[in-house]
Structure 1
């Protein structure tokens, strides 16, 4: 339920937090609520009439997966739908909220990095990209496959990665040659500055630009595939929320656009079992889960490899009790009471490649924030952390941001608080791990266009660098994904 961009929550960086839970607490504050509705099969021809009779208004249709986003001011709307035989599941739609959580560096936080030169003072940041250097075998993978070919300053992309995120800086010098288009799924009115222009892919937050750079930057910093194409799907406004229906709509569109790979540095927890809210009744998130499953199945059916972040709650995703305890601790004060199973989505949806986060300094420990689980993690990717001293002490003043990962940042935004850099930023999280694996999937597809998603995933696992316990383990999965090994 707690859908969030997969930055590290514990390190005071950007998070997307669910405050409304089932949405019932929001009903006390506003006159209407949005709902996710999934039909058993296709949308019936009279779906608008069905929704209208129940007291709702259709906001978004997802005909290819039989889903709807609906708004209603009737508190009995879900009860009104119970008599409709064609509906498989319905629940109040989960929403996310983006907030920068900055800690004053002068008090308890680590000090910002100031010893990395500004972009106009340096030819290349390669020496600062420990993560990309490691998974490309110090750039040797570029001699095998970059994701495209360059001629007379023009790039011919051999594979396209769809980035479902906060958008991108379309004029960033390291990215603009590889941006092949995109679409905005944020409707008008989502916040004060949102017009709903479908062509508006500009990143207001920074997260999507950083993710895209890890995949396909080609300038001061390098991505895994410097000639891969990037197609952008913006699902987050500058502030406010990103309902599940916007994200699944973007997955479907990316598949229809024939991207080769989708990266989603997004994660949340949805309840499979029913839970209680303030004694008002029992609820579940089955409709949301079904939308995820159907959208990802649709993408895989269109030969798209889907890569996702494992999340940053430091949880064993295969321990139901641990997750239930986390949910009650996180949301109990709002009146929620969880007893049964909850799953991480999309990380535990069948068919995706789920990525935990490794760090620079250890081959035995994953990043402190990363989720894990033997049955959940496929591979790990370098997402960075705050260094070994912080890992040992958890003393905020001992955080060393040099151990985070350097990538592109919107040139029009202020420097991120971890450094004084303009146009680049040091971030950590499974958000930063996932796009490395998506980039590897991209160059694999560029070199082997006939491979199916299951084959791409198998190759990434097979050629990963074993870390932790020998063989597949709950922290690293099959190991740290490696572009050079996969292409070699």
Structure 2
């Protein structure tokens, strides 16, 4: 996924499958004056008269998030931020950043789609990642995340909130574990021009496929199996049909999930915020975005929710701060847009989040080629898949072997993804596919140990991770590759 500013064209990656790369920028002074969205983070609580304050400055409140003292505001006043500078109750205010899901471009030279038998009762033998995580299914004999009653209905012992593009709730592999959710997308989409968006708060239909794939890795229970096949899953839909989502609905979804008392949140999303950059010589910062991310995660953890996030897919060393800013300048900067400040990955770089890098099927010393890494950034790794060792050695698209990716659920009403011929299933790869494996493990730990707090859940995941890479904690795998079976059998 890429973080972007409204109205700016983005070139999608031709390599990563629905990947979560990102950036942050400001429209230049040559852009015609249009309405822009802003984020405002107040010092303490929202002032009682915040509506009139914003209106006086030329803005309209789109969303208030009182739990974290935040506002999302729209204004066509070019001097809107200047109007707020004298308000000492405001910690930070800036143009709001937005995220964008990428679709992998098939291109002209590709590996061959995987043929799946539509009449097969199970695709278990194709799930190398879940078989590995569960010790060939042995962990299911210890904990599945719930129990089935005489009526075959599942009583969920733990629930994972999936903040993503929605879920195909009627998918036969997911229906028994789906327990509702909330749609944060307004009518018409975030920036207009998406007439298919009704604004129905209960409509979590996945129009992209990303969220459904993530859900299957967590709690699939049919032809494919998830890490916890009886875990409850709740959808928090934050991407509109165009694949866009600003910061505000994402942090609002974190608050909603915590208030719904989910046990775990998975966010297979990520972006970069820069704390000092210049557009046409004027200084800007993404501090309000970072503050609201930090407060939202703190709110969730205080409400006993374990938060898990993808590390991102730019092959960057997060510990090398200069390289992050250089990456932004090389990929998204120009003579009018220059990044100079500290770059923060959100949410993976926010304290309190379990940040997950992507391992692969064929190596215990090399991460998947796209995965971000870095000491004090990566907590653990999990299988997110890649294109196999031949592609890793050559970069030849014809040598991509999609069976090295992660097989999971796909919306039945969407066109088949090009990696397979099967309706309702797809092979994808990315840290998006690694993060839900750890979220599923966290859910199983909560089902087995309902009294554990987020720190204890994280500690058990790290303690029982398989020590891949260099001995001990390292920049690629953190404390190792997380594993459901070792976590559930730890003494």
Name the residue aligned to 1:219: 222
Equivalent residues in 2 for 1:294-309, closer than 5 Å: 294-309=295-310
CA distance in 1, matches of 2:95, 2:135: 47
CA distance in 1, matches of 2:334, 2:209: 31
Name the residue aligned to 1:341: 342
Name the residue aligned to 2:8: none
Equivalent residues in 2 for 1:319-334, closer than 5 Å: 319-333=320-334
Name the residue aligned to 1:238: 241
Given candidates 270, 273, 293, the residue that maps to 1:270 is 273
Equivalent residues in 2 for 1:246-265, closer than 5 Å: 246-265=249-268
Name the residue aligned to 2:123: 125
Structure 1 runs of 4+ with >6 Å offset = 16-19
CA distance in 1, matches of 2:243, 2:63: 18
SS, match of residue 312 in structure 1:
coil
Contact 2:308/2:439 (<8 A) preserved: yes
SS, match of residue 64 in structure 2:
strand
Equivalent residues in 2 for 1:385-400, closer than 5 Å: 385-400=386-401
CA RMSD in angstroms comes to 1.7
Summarize the Cα distance change of 1:25–1:423 in structure 2 as closer, same or farther, 3 Å threshold: farther
- Over residues 340-371 of structure 1, what are the superposed CA-to-partner deviations in whole Å (9 max), with x where a residue is unaligned? 21011111100110000000000010000000
Deviates more, 1:415-424 or 1:26-35: 26-35
Shift of 1:452: 0.4
Contact 2:99/2:246 (<8 A) preserved: yes
Name the residue aligned to 1:381: 382
CA distance in 2, matches of 1:16, 1:194: 23
Deviates more, 1:412-421 or 1:440-449: 412-421
SS, match of residue 3 in structure 1:
strand
Summarize the Cα distance change of 1:203–1:26 in structure 2 as closer, same or farther, 3 Å threshold: farther
Summarize the Cα distance change of 1:146–1:270 in structure 2 as closer, same or farther, 3 Å threshold: same
Contact 1:356/1:371 (<8 A) preserved: yes
Contact 1:22/1:93 (<8 A) preserved: no
CA distance in 1, matches of 2:158, 2:22: 35
Shift of 1:29: 4.9
Contact 1:102/1:417 (<8 A) preserved: no
2:7 corresponds to 1:3: no
Q: Alignment length, in residue pairs? A: 477
Given candidates 2, 13, 17, the residue that maps to 1:13 is 17
Equivalent residues in 2 for 1:112-261, closer than 5 Å: 112-114=113-115, 116-118=116-118, 121-151=119-149, 152-190=151-189, 191-239=194-242, 241-261=244-264
Summarize the Cα distance change of 1:334–1:113 in structure 2 as closer, same or farther, 3 Å threshold: farther
2:481 corresponds to 1:480: yes
CA distance in 2, matches of 1:361, 1:87: 51
SS, match of residue 96 in structure 1:
strand
2:88 corresponds to 1:89: no
Contact 1:97/1:241 (<8 A) preserved: yes
CA distance in 2, matches of 1:122, 1:101: 27
Summarize the Cα distance change of 1:126–1:27 in structure 2 as closer, same or farther, 3 Å threshold: farther
Shift of 1:2: 4.4
CA distance in 2, matches of 1:27, 1:298: 39
SS, match of residue 163 in structure 1:
strand
Shift of 1:9: 4.4
Shift of 1:374: 1.1
- Over residues 294-348 of structure 1, what are the superposed CA-to-partner deviations in whole Å (9 max), with x where a residue is unaligned? 0000000000000000000000001011111100011114832112210111111
TM-score (norm 1): 0.95
TM-score (norm 2): 0.94
2:99 corresponds to 1:100: no
Summarize the Cα distance change of 1:171–1:47 in structure 2 as closer, same or farther, 3 Å threshold: same
Structure 2: 5+ residue runs without aligned partners?
5-11
Contact 1:355/1:378 (<8 A) preserved: yes
Given candidates 22, 39, 64, the residue that maps to 1:36 is 39
Contact 2:20/2:312 (<8 A) preserved: no
Summarize the Cα distance change of 1:434–1:17 in structure 2 as closer, same or farther, 3 Å threshold: closer
Shift of 1:421: 1.3
Shift of 1:400: 1.0
2:57 corresponds to 1:54: yes
Shift of 1:13: 2.8
Structure 1: 5+ residue runs without aligned partners?
none
CA distance in 2, matches of 1:33, 1:343: 23
- Over residues 213-247 of structure 1, what are the superposed CA-to-partner deviations in whole Å (9 max), with x where a residue is unaligned? 00000000000000000011000011052000000
Shift of 1:100: 2.2
- Over residues 359-415 of structure 1, what are the superposed CA-to-partner deviations in whole Å (9 max), with x where a residue is unaligned? 000001000000000110000000000000110111122111110000000011111
Name the residue aligned to 1:67: 70
